[in-house]
Structure 1
Amino acid sequence: MTGATMEGANEARRLRYWRRIEPAHEPGAYRALDAAYRQPHRAYHSWAHIDELLAGLEHFDRLATRPDLIAAAIFWHDAVHLARDPDGKTRLDRQNVRDSVAAFHRHTLLDGNEAKAVEELVMATADHVGARASCELYPGFSDDLDLFVDLDLSPLAAPWDIFAANTQKIRSESVGVEEAEFAANQAKMLEGLARGDAPVFRRAETRAAWDATARVNLARCIAGLRAAGR
């Protein structure tokens, strides 16, 4: 498949999923997302990342109780992504996630447990390892949260050349951060995901598909980052 063909397929999938959840949004919601994901500073946290997660959801759709709510979380989870605050301080990922949740609430027509579910799914990306459902907002919500977290981590299992390119894209988004600081921070984050012998992915099906490759990638990348941070 050529690059243009793949891009067309990704856009078609994206629009197909959006049409499913569009009635749950205010008019103009997709335009707001499109403007966000096309911001010039975004190298990794762009439409390409959203498309990759939607492809994963399409593949594992049978595991989802509410694929529509997972799709909504995929669309909104990186709606806000800034490296620095207006005062120049490094911006914490958790603040970007909170602001993404706020963007979702500005545009959604969902309410009650459905809106709360999307909020919790998005907030789970602030702490992939520790995130847990506060309660069963609907039957199967905990399993859906686990699936969503796995989908967001699925790029860890990409072929090594893509994994390495993604790391460079993430580096380019860290405006003003020194190389040694970026390497140390990224290595610490990846070590938190590797966690010794613990599986990277939560669901048995995603673990079978992705865990082994992700572990090799993580070990290789962490070693390189630690060397660069010395």
Structure 2
Amino acid sequence: MLTLERWSALWSCLGARTHGDTIFQEVIQAYAEPHRHYHTLAHLQDCLQIFDTTSARAKQPAVVEAALWFHDAIYDTHSSENEARSASWAYEALRTAGAAEALCQHVADLVLMTQHEARPAGADACLIVDIDLSILGRAPVVFDAYERQIREEYAWVPTSTFRQRRVAILEAFLARPTIYSTPDFQQDYEEQARQNLARSIARLQA
């Protein structure tokens, strides 16, 4: 799944002509950093597996796939600029490799959408956001493991502070009219996501 062959095919499809092998190794190494527990190569692979079954919903599938590869490439729990830095890396890597400026900007814009601060607009943005949020609607055992992994990534945050901030994040998702933006994801994940979020909030507040 996370193969150089797949990456090289994507790189070529995007019109990028150089540095593909080097960037691939750098991205793989980034997701393998030891401080990561959820935002790992396993998360990236999971996102790409879902993408492979939903890519027909995208207007520009290759752009969405590129954004998925880069969306958590920079991950520092002490920083609030991870998505911005990941987007910048994606833009600069593709532009340097010869991809068109508009395409590079589209990839960067999609990476920024995974901040989950604004509701996505357009097929590509809706798809990448729904893929990234799919973990919220997984089986309880999978979701609970995700919550534990997030806590491990923020082990440096005091328990009371972490609980308060985590509840605020989860409640914000729960307060949305819909967590997911596309009908397929709403059908497959929405109900379970709401159950998972409510259960996690109750546990954090106990």
TM-score by length of 1: 0.81
Q: Alignment partner for residue 162 of structure 1, among 142, 145, 155?
A: 142
The amino acid of 1:202's aligned partner reads S
Q: CA distance change for structure 1 residues 175 and 102 in 2, over 3 Å: closer, same or farther?
A: farther
**Residues 33-69 of structure 1 deviation map (CA, whole Å, 9 limit, x = unaligned):** 1110111111000011111111111111221121111
Listed as ranges, the matches of 1:111-130 within 5 Å are 111-126=100-115, 128-130=116-118
Q: Are 2:72 and 1:78 aligned?
A: yes
RMSD: 1.6
SS in 2 for 1:83: coil
The amino acid of 1:200's aligned partner reads I
**Equivalent residue number for residue 29 of structure 1:** 23
Listed as ranges, the matches of 1:99-110 within 5 Å are 99-108=85-94, 109=97, 110=99
Q: Distance in 2 between matches of 1:169 and 1:190?
A: 15
CA contact (8 A) 2:120 2:181 kept: no
Question: Unaligned 5+ residue runs, structure 2?
Answer: none
Q: Are 2:36 and 1:50 aligned?
A: no
Q: Distance in 1 between matches of 2:6 and 2:65?
A: 7
**Equivalent residue number for residue 215 of structure 1:** 194
Count the aligned residue pairs: 197
CA contact (8 A) 2:44 2:68 kept: yes
* 1:101 CA drift (Å): 1.3
The amino acid of 1:50's aligned partner reads L
Q: Quick one: percent identity of the two aligned structures?
A: 27
**Equivalent residue number for residue 14 of structure 1:** 2
**Equivalent residue number for residue 192 of structure 1:** 172
Question: Unaligned 5+ residue runs, structure 1?
Answer: 1-12, 85-90, 134-141
